[in-house]
Amino acid sequence: MSTVPTAALDQLMKRLLLQLLVTAGLIGGAVYGWYVWQPVSDSAPSAAGPGGPPPTPVDITHARLEALQDRLEAVGTARARESIEVVAQLAGRIAAIHFHEGQQVETGQVLVELDSAREQAELREANAQLAESRRQLNRARTMLQSNTVSQAQVDELSATVDAAEARSAVIQVRLQNHVIVAPFEGVVGLRDVSLGAFVEPNRRITTLDDISTLRIDFSVPERFLDRLTLGLGVLATSAAFPEHPFAGEINRIDTRIDPTTRAIRVQAEFPNENGRLKPGMFLRVELTLSERQAVVVPEEAVVSEGERHYVFRVADNRVERQQVQLGQRRRGEVEIRSGLAAAESVVIAGVHRLRDGAAIRIRNEQPMPSSNAQ
């Protein structure tokens, strides 16, 4: 009796088992394919219903027509309406100071006096010489009538009188320059000299600023030139007073555009009765260039894909994917410049689950939020 070796028997069993597994896999695949490709019976139930997928629940609102303001922002520097450095025109010793730092002064008020004792003595001497020259001239004119003196002598004495009058006038001007007065109404700043100090010509003594009205200089790009007009309203804010905007208006527009920056220099005036604004302050400026009617929708209604923007417009319980052009943005809202009309309905909740032409179920219809934020 012959026997099969155990190793050979094991090898045979493994082959048979492998064949059975392969055969079972082929049969299972064929059954699955037949099941998948088998047409669905018309009577088979559908989870989506006879019309396709179930309607998507969404919230909608209506586009609204609203007044928008086109605004331009810039930065500027505050300047006093009138501003000078008070200086001495002549060298001299300060004899009197007639102001306090930060004081409001009037036009013509004396601020500083320089020692003028020498000039006053020279003026007395010049006036005495002038008086003597006039007496000699008058005597010569009397004697000319009796031919005691010649006309040439009279002319010479007349020239002497003229020279004496001129010398007296020069000394009077020098005396006036020893008294420094305020050329306009304003506020004096810190003084840089002390009583008794000797000052040279053009030495700064203090500053004088008229800050009842302040001017703010700023630049505007040339593309806005046609929208700049005198009297246009301006709002300015400062880091020192962030909660207190200052209102003014444009009162000067430069006649030239800077060829380097392609911007034009503009100057606006701001009332400053309380003195909050100071010359040299850095300010942010906002101009309202124009006001217009525009279509606005909530920001959540807009779907952006790269540089393109879309909204889902609602009609007959379906949506239409509509490309739009955006304009100005503000808190919670965005302007639609084209692609959507006022009063049209748009989806504001559920937009990311929608496709063009999809059926919807309106879950909530919200009115446009009222907002005065510009």
Model's pTM, two decimal places?
Answer: 0.59
Closest CA to 217 of 262, 270, 255: 270
pLDDT (average), residues 179-199: 93
User: Domains of the chain: which residue ranges?
Assistant: 56-66+293-365, 72-79+211-292, 116-177
Does the structure show a pLDDT above 90 at 112? yes
User: What is the pLDDT confidence band of residue 51, given thresholds at 50, 70 and 90?
Assistant: low
Longest CA span, the chain: 193
Does the structure show a pLDDT above 90 at 21? no
CATH class of 56-66+293-365: mainly beta
Closest CA to 174 of 86, 114, 125: 114
Q: What is the pLDDT of residue 288?
A: 84
Q: Which residue has the higher pLDDT, 261 or 19?
A: 261
What are the start-end ranges of the E strands in the chain?
Answer: 56-62, 64-87, 92-97, 104-105, 110-114, 179-181, 186-188, 198-199, 204-221, 233-238, 241-258, 263-271, 282-298, 303-305, 308-315, 318-330, 333-338, 345-349, 360-365
Answer yes or no: are the C-beta atoms of 80 and 215 closer than 8 Å: yes
DSSP 3-state of 358: coil
- Output Rg (C-alpha) for the chain, integer angstroms: 47
Report whether CATH 1.10.287.470 matches the domain 116-177: yes
Q: What is the pLDDT of residue 197?
A: 93
Q: Which residue has the higher pLDDT, 369 or 201?
A: 201
User: What is the pLDDT confidence band of residue 214, given thresholds at 50, 70 and 90?
Assistant: very high
Q: What is the pLDDT of residue 285?
A: 93
Q: What is the rounded average pLDDT for all residues in the chain?
A: 84
Q: What is the pLDDT of residue 47?
A: 36
pLDDT digits (tens, 9 = 90+) for 227-265: 888 999 899 999 988 888 999 999 999 999 999 999 999
Does the structure show a pLDDT above 70 at 23? no
Does the structure show a pLDDT above 70 at 131? yes
pLDDT (average), residues 144-167: 86
Does the structure show a pLDDT above 80 at 56? yes
pLDDT digits (tens, 9 = 90+) for 63-95: 988 888 778 889 999 999 999 999 998 899 999
User: What is the pLDDT confidence band of residue 104, given thresholds at 50, 70 and 90?
Assistant: very high
User: What is the pLDDT confidence band of residue 35, given thresholds at 50, 70 and 90?
Assistant: very low
Right CATH for 72-79+211-292 from 3.90.78.10, 2.40.110.10, 2.40.30.170, 3.40.50.740 = 2.40.30.170
Q: What is the pLDDT of residue 40?
A: 37
